Amino acid sequence: MSGQGNLQVKVVASDTGGLSHIARKLTNLGLAVEDEEFIQAEYHHPFHDFGPDDDHETLRTEMEATPNDEIVVIAEDAPVADQTLQEANRAGLIHEDLLVIAIQRGDRILTPRGNTVLKAGDRVKIFSPARIPPGALDTFQQSE
């Protein structure tokens, strides 16, 4: 970005009235709208993948690891157990190169937020843009 702008906001609304409403709210917050661009598009996505009707896949309730992430199970006495992600970050328990991207609790997969509490037994999917640094996952496991 160049110019005076220091914030880019992307908004989705059902009509131009909704966009105007959001623009007014931003202005009321003290933000100056420097440039507006309206893009109108519709997206349709079927509930099931395309394919034969007799071969529907069921929704996955298990997380899978990919090359840049790791799945760990939080131990009972792990330093991060019973803390919110925000508390664990503030305490320096989660390495700066790690990002918690999903939590499997029982048969549910949760989208982590700052107020999400990490619980013993949770399967946590952790992403790192590079290799996970040695010892960075120790706070998710039992203390020695």
Average pLDDT, the chain: 79
pTM: 0.54
Token duo for residue 11: 């908004």
Please give the distance of CA 63 from its chain centroid, rounded to a whole number: 14
DSSP state of 116: P
Token duo for residue 47: 């509930």
Q: For residues 7 and 138, which has the higher predicted lDDT (pLDDT)?
A: 138
Token duo for residue 61: 């309730």
84 has a pLDDT exceeding 90: yes
Domains of the chain: 69-140 (3.30.70.1450)
User: What pLDDT digit, counting tens, does each position of 5-20 carry?
Assistant: 677 777 777 777 887 7
61 has a pLDDT exceeding 60: no
Query: Nearest 5 degrees, angle CA 122-CA 91-CA 102?
Result: 30
Side chain identity, residue 98: L
